[in-house]
Amino acid sequence: PDAEAIADLKELICYRDSLVERRKECKVRLANKKETLVNRNSKAWKCIERLSKAEIKRLDKVIGECDEEIRNLMKEDEEMEKNYQHLTSIVGIGLINGAALIAYTGNFKKITTPNKMSCYCGCFTFYEDSGTSVHRKSPYRNACCKMLKGYLRMAAKSAMLANTELRKYSERLREKGKPYAVILNNVANKLLHIMFSLVKHDYDYEYNHEIVRRMEREIA
């Protein structure tokens, strides 16, 4: 079973995810209603708009409070806090990505390799092969933790814009003619490998960190 702190962290992350989904539903419902409405000066529309905006504002506040609780929970555990600082030293990894990875790897003690985590998040591509005629993606590739997959892909999008190393990596893939979905998946996998490496070697992220670590080991 998970340690108490890890179990609490998972519960908070799942609860936050449900709040985000409710906020999204509220925003989409309001936007759709606005598009289909004939009379935007009616009392009914004004009431719906006022109540919907109040609901969105309330959910924003609750999500903010939930983020604060997640952060405080990790601060109370020295080992979780140390790993969290390593993860968030990467440009593109924020509070929820870092906390979710810590929670679902059991603070890197249950899932100990990036390839295993890639399978769990649905970022590892499986193929079915048989002879020379069958070579297709496995239908089980979507059997994964969808929440983590979404978080990781959002982190990959941010990293492709703001992280120098991963932006260059994505540009090299683009020059080879890879589709955007493949590039995004590869960047997500690259992020996982970097995060597990930082935790394993107890370092914060720095540009070309693998080369730096190798040079330090050779000098030592």
pLDDT in tens, 163-206: 888 899 999 999 999 889 889 989 999 999 999 989 998 888 88
Q: Which of 76, 92, 127 is the last residue of a domain?
A: 76
pLDDT digits 0-9 by tens, 115-151: 999 888 887 776 666 666 666 665 555 677 888 988 9
Domain contains 94: no
Residue 119 sits in the same domain as residue 212: yes
154 in a domain, yes or no?
yes
Write out pLDDT tens, residues 55-103: 999 999 999 999 999 999 999 999 999 999 999 998 888 999 999 999 9
Domain boundary among 58, 76, 94: 76
Question: Same domain, yes or no, for 61 and 119?
Answer: no
Same domain? 118 vs 182: yes
Is the pTM of the predicted complex or chain greater than 0.75? yes
Q: Any idea of the CA torsion for 25, 29, 35, 37, to the nearest 10 degrees? A: 180
Q: How many domains does the chain have?
A: 2
Contact, 63 vs 172, CB < 8 A?
Answer: no
* Contact in structure between 189 and 124 (CB atoms under 8 Å): yes
* 83 inside domain: no
Q: Which residues pair with 66 in a beta bridge?
A: none
Distances (CA, A) of 175 to 153, 158, 160, 165, 179: 21, 20, 15, 16, 10
Range of the domain at 29: 1-76
Give domain status of residue 81, yes or no: no
**More confident: 218 or 32:** 32
On whether residue 37 sits in a domain, the answer given is yes
